[in-house]
């Protein structure tokens, strides 16, 4: 009984910490540009943004700016990444 009281808050806190580590989308250049990333095969614009955010985070970026998004059923996109 006592452990179940601690497990729920632990899951909530871990979800918050993982969400905060993703790179955030910006509309203009922020900080030092460290590169360009691209993703392919996203089904929606939201999925494309999520994939770009994850890839930017994996590359060590804190921010990204989408420079292109093209396609119909399978979107492809590129973004500049910033520290």
CA distance 25 to 3: 38
CATH number for region 23-82: 3.30.1660.10
Higher pLDDT, 27 or 75: 75
Is the pTM higher than 0.85? The answer reads no
Q: First CA to last CA across the chain, in angstroms?
A: 45
pLDDT at 82: 97
Task: Tell me the domain boundaries of the chain.
Answer: 23-82
Query: Any alpha helices (H) in the chain, and if so which ranges?
Result: 2-20, 45-58
- How far lies 35's CA from each of 18, 31, 82, 83, in Å? 23, 12, 7, 10
12-69 residue pLDDT tens = 444 444 445 689 999 888 889 999 999 999 999 999 999 999 999 999 999 999 999 9
Checking DSSP bridges between strand 75-82 and strand 33-42, what pairing results, if any?
Answer: antiparallel
Flag whether pLDDT at 1 surpasses 90. no
């Amino acid at each position: 009984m006592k452990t179940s009281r601690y497990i729920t808050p632990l899951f909530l806190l871990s979800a918050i910490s993982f969400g905060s580590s993703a790179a955030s989308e910006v509309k203009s250049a922020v900080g030092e540009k460290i590169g360009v990333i691209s993703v392919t095969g996203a089904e929606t614009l939201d999925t494309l943004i999520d994939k770009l955010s994850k890839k930017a985070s994996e590359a060590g970026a804190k921010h990204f700016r989408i420079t292109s998004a093209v396609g119909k059923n399978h979107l492809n996109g590129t973004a500049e990444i910033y520290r």
